[in-house]
Structure 1
């Protein structure tokens, strides 16, 4: 790892947290990896050791960070390198805000990651779900990372690992004692991330009133005015707005004060999958359906491959209709 990171050169530093620093490294076979090293000033290495333990027991999943190895002392952890940074940076610092289809995909991918953890045997609770811990790979797919605070629900004797922990603004208010740790605290934090995804507002913003994104957005959703919190920097189609409305309904359920009223992450995944307007199957069906209704009334709506006399009028209302449907689609 010394060789791979040029002696942990500052030029290789890609991130820094309370438990360590992350460097980019190049292995002998040319692979680029992320190398997390415990901070020199930090004498307690329990968080890095816990992360190595949790990551080494998780079944590989495309929506969680891939664990490649650790040093025997567990003060260095090696994972896949995520070249597109964090969701936090993408939402709050990037000059190009992510389009709605990408945000909807990220919401589904994060839900799938949490479902995978909660359905593991034993069940794992992340305890620090936030946009800064959601990394983006080369194709902008989301990966849940940073398992330093993660806990296994079966570890009944390990009280310290279940003490209330997390990041202000994302923490479930009902998580006040070790005995309160359940998978539903991740569900609450996930709901906060959904609000952040839709609005691109910081979770705690002292320049706003109310400062909490939950206190600001939840009443609007409950009043049926959820679309008012949408990020105004990007446009949306009718189909995307339907998906966003569903997403906000899921967020409201996740943020319920009563744990029993919150959905499981399996329910969340099913709900989001049922309203995916950005898939090509959905688009093709919408195009066919709308064209059937418009064909009899719109002259020259369908562009044909034959010569004919359509000329420049071929791309008329029907073409614009197709363009509107495709406006929110990022083709891969």
Structure 2
């Protein structure tokens, strides 16, 4: 009697493509409609060129942010693939995490962690309080977290990622006021053998590096320029471009440079700050901003170097505070060297 040969076991089932790529859980449209009360207007957190973001509460009571991408002549599909492919492989404490997605018919939804303290733009420019809840130390902590997130995109990944839309509304804040860089819809991958990529100029007016606006040649130093504008924004409480101000003050970068040249640095500090920083601390922050917005992109520091500068600034601040505590009547005068 012939021995019956058992058929080989079936190959192990492969996980869905999205799961293999780290795209997170696949949600149904019904789940996300339920979470947002059918995308009700009162749940809108914000809106940009790529879609509307809603707050949602999942069935397990988890709060999430749900981005509903605009369906504009196939653009939503492109944006969806770009953002998911980019952020799906990124994991860092200062970058917003993608929890999952929904892809049903024409529906393209992305599900992110919910950030309890909204974004930096809200606290800098849209508060009604005469005194800002953001102290100087909190602002420097937010800048350092943002710098670390961008340094990871530039230096911790291969291929590296250039964000190309660094701005205050894309810096989200968790319950402990830690910065989380968000919105990778504009991000570009930059292969190691290439120093730049030529692309259609995108970004936000006032933050875009001059060489990128002029030529479309993009590299990580373009993000550094935008970060320098962000430093100035955090220091001054002003938007990068403000047409309600007198002509010499419309452009934040040019105004701040002029104030430095005239040795009027103390006057650039946000009047809503609960307590102004010591002059030497302010000077170091302004110097970091000026280095980042150098018109020559090749002279700008890397984001890794910016992280070190900001860490040194915080250390300097701590040492200065210790010296003051030990000698409270010590003079804090200094010579301008800007």
TM-score, length-normalised on structure 2?
Answer: 0.78
Judged with a 3 Å threshold, the aligned counterparts in structure 2 of structure 1 residues 155 and 284 are, in CA distance, closer, same or farther, namely closer
Aligned to 2:175: 138
> C-alpha separation between the residues in 2 aligned to 1:237 and 1:202?
19
Query: Once the two structures are superposed, what CA deviation does each residue of 1:219-268 show, in whole Å capped at 9, x if it has no partner?
Result: 222444322211122354564x3222111101101111101110011111
Q: 1:11 to 1:238 in 2, by over 3 A?
A: closer
Query: Is residue 262 of structure 2 the alignment partner of residue 226 of structure 1?
Result: no
Q: Which consecutive unaligned segments of at least 5 residues does structure 2 have?
A: 1-31, 331-338
Quick one: structure 1 residues 161 and 18, their matched pair in 2 at CA, closer, same or farther if it must change by over 3 Å?
A: farther
Match in the other structure for 1:261: 299
Any stretches of 5+ residues in structure 1 without a counterpart?
A: 295-332
Q: Which residue number in structure 1 is paired with residue 13 of structure 2?
A: none
Output the CA distance in 1 between the equivalents of 2:266 and 2:216. Answer: 37
| 1:221/1:252 contact within 8 Å kept | no
Q: For 1:179-217, what per-residue CA distance to the aligned partner results, in whole angstroms no more than 9, with x for missing partners?
A: 611100000000111111111112111122231111111
1:200 aligns with 2:201: no
1:19: which partner in 2? 50
Residue of structure 1 equivalent to 2:41: 10
Does 2:65 align with 1:34? yes
1:243 to 281, 286, 294: 281
Q: 1:156 to 1:26 in 2, by over 3 A?
A: farther
Confirm or deny: 8 A CA contact 1:151 1:161 kept in the other structure: no
In the alignment, the residues of structure 2 paired with residue 182 and residue 160 of structure 1 have an alpha-carbon distance, to the nearest angstrom, of 7
2:12 aligned partner: none
**Is the 8 Å Cα contact of residues 52 and 68 (structure 2) preserved in structure 1?**
yes
**Higher deviation after alignment, 160-169 or 137-146:** 160-169
1:310 aligns to what? none
- Residues 29-78 of structure 1: CA deviation (Å, up to 9, x unaligned): 221000001135564112232111110021x2111111111224682111
Correspondences of 1:52-91 after superposition (within 5 Å): 52-58=84-90, 60-72=91-103, 75-91=108-124
Query: What TM-score comes out, normalization by structure 1 length?
Result: 0.79
Q: Where does residue 327 of structure 1 map in the other structure? A: none
Q: Is the 8 A contact 1:151 1:162 kept in 2?
A: no
Partner of residue 311 from structure 2, selected from 273, 283, 295? 273
In the alignment, which residue of structure 2 is the partner of 1:289?
326
* Contact 2:269/2:276, CA 8 A, preserved across alignment: no
For residues 269 and 32 of structure 1, do their structure 2 counterparts lie closer, same or farther at Cα, with a shift above 3 Å needed?
same
1:114 and 1:102, CA in 2 relative to 1: closer, same or farther beyond 3 A?
same
